[in-house]
Amino acid sequence: MKRIVLVLGDQLTPALSSLRAADRENDVVLMAEVIAEATYVRHHKKKIVLILAAMRHFAAELRMSGWRVDYVTLSDPANSGSLHGEVMRAFVRHGATHVLATEPGEWRLMREMAQWPSVTLLPDDRFLADRHGFASWAENRRGLRMEHFYRLMRLKTGLLMEGDQPAGGRWNFDRDNRNPAPGALALPEPLRFESDAITRDVLEMVATRFPDHFGELNPFWFAVTRAGAEAAFAHFLRHGLRDFGRYQDAMLRGNRFLCHSVVSVYLNLGLLDPLTMCRAVEVEWRAGRVPLNSAEGFIRQVIGWREFVRGIYWWCGPEYALSNALGAHRPLPAFYWSADTHMTCVRACVSQTREEAYAHHIQRLMVTGNFALLAGIDPHALHEWYLAVYADAFEWVELPNTIGMSQFADGGLLASKPYAASGAYIHRMSDYCEACTYDVKAKEGPKACPFNLLYWHFVARHVDRLRGNPRMVQMVRTWEGFAPEKQARLTRDAERFLASLG
């Protein structure tokens, strides 16, 4: 029986479960560029180029290793525009009767593919935590906290362990990883790659087919091959990992990447293996080349947070995307697309996003995410923005980070508190406030930092809910301790600013 082995754009791994189960002599690997996947949200131009160029290079890698690959380009005049349509066309071309695939990473595709005739979906075992095993762990817990899950992953993998105890006597060194970056710090740049003929063809096609999508297309410097991704990670190990921990929460106008690895784009496509990466980081620590807080901080992001949010995604189901526990319904402001705002921090992060299809986690959480939380932006609209604009954004990882952590829209299932902060946090962790129209130290009036105004407006809107949160109750007490006249002034100033967003 000849089968079609469907490989998706974020499954670019030679050891994929469907490829391991396939017959190289008889089965045909199908890879298809389809308009439906490029436009279900209006993805950043660079994101489309990255995925399609990486797919084309992976197809070449498979052919070199002896696979028969049927690759359908977006410009093929017979392209049906959907994955199902391309599978059906491949059945006719190759006389196949069955499709074999690894489970997709999104509910949207899982529901669609499960309805296809003659399909076998195999588990995606590229992750350390099986999603059904995560559900068993989560089922009877009163609260889901990443820290508890992370410790299980450390024990399971043996990473940074001394017997059954954590290296250094602590599981988590996050408190050592919150330093602002001094402006004179010599910082590495991520490894950049020249585009080859394959990538240049994709760049030309995307410029023609998606001219109105968000983002700038050039310069395009991401790796699009496994070898390139591995080189980018090796570069980070040598040049970025040492100071990554200390400055991972910092933000600077003059440096967009600081010591971040910028390899999540490759990891989420399947070009890098998470456990291999973490073991390489551990080697650097054990060799004395990097401090423990940097090694632990990186490993926690990969085997802790990344695995945890995937588990949440699959456990909660597709309805999780509609969560809105705080009743936030304000439309997404236009400056999330244009960067046309007097808030230097937001302008810097959106401009960087438009140009790079990248911003690091604190820029996403504590600037664009924090603003949306404080302003009461519709969390689903923000989710679709994040999914569209970042090259590493796939729904299984982006959605829980947005709905659960950034917007507290799940009511506290994922995070123990809303990540709400005034301008003081941004001032402490960045140099954005030095060049801002607004005064970060002003709490009231037309020149006051909007984050300051909106912070108290947020507390006042949700005072009943926040009073029951141990980590926010003091802020409620502070608000309630303000004189009525001060409460009225803060509310008036905040609502005046919110009205200007329209």
Q: Are 404 and 382 in contact (CB under 8 A)?
A: no
- Residue 181 is predicted with a pLDDT of 84
Residue 362 to residues 251, 352, 419, 475, Cα–Cα distance (Å): 8, 13, 11, 22
- Residue written as tokens 């890698």? 61
Residue 437 to residues 148, 432, 447, 478, Cα–Cα distance (Å): 43, 11, 8, 27
- Residue 177 is predicted with a pLDDT of 84
Burial label, 474 (beta-carbon count in 10 A; 0-12, 13-18, 19+): exposed
Angle of the 83-94 helix axis to the 107-114 helix axis, nearest 10: 40
Q: Are 128 and 303 in contact (CB under 8 A)?
A: yes
Q: Are 308 and 189 in contact (CB under 8 A)?
A: no
Coil, strand or helix at 209? helix
Domains in the chain (CATH in brackets) are 3-122 (3.40.50.620), 131-188+240-316 (1.25.40.80), 335-500 (1.10.579.10)
C-alpha to C-alpha distance for 42 and 261, rounded to whole angstroms: 26
Residue 279 to residues 103, 282, 378, 400, Cα–Cα distance (Å): 26, 5, 40, 26
Kind plus residue range of the DSSP H or E element containing 38: helix 35-39
Helix, strand, coil percentages, rounded to 5, for the chain: 55, 5, 40
- Residue 120 is predicted with a pLDDT of 97
* DSSP character string of 279-331: HHHHHHHHTTSS-HHHHHHHHIIIIIIIHHHHHHHHHH-GGGGG--TT---BP
- Residue written as tokens 């954590």? 166
- Residue 184 is predicted with a pLDDT of 62
User: CA nearest 342: which of 180, 181, 497, 499?
Assistant: 497
Burial label, 483 (beta-carbon count in 10 A; 0-12, 13-18, 19+): exposed
- What is the per-residue burial (b if ≥16 Cβ within 10 Å, else e) of 348-357? bbbbbbbebb
Which regions of the chain are under pLDDT 50? none
The β-bridge relationship of strands 161-162 and 165-166 is: antiparallel
What are the backbone angles phi and psi of residue 165, rounded to the nearest 5°? -115, 150
- Residue 324 is predicted with a pLDDT of 98
pLDDT in tens, 284-332: 999 999 999 999 999 999 999 999 999 999 999 999 999 999 999 999 9
- Residue 312 is predicted with a pLDDT of 96
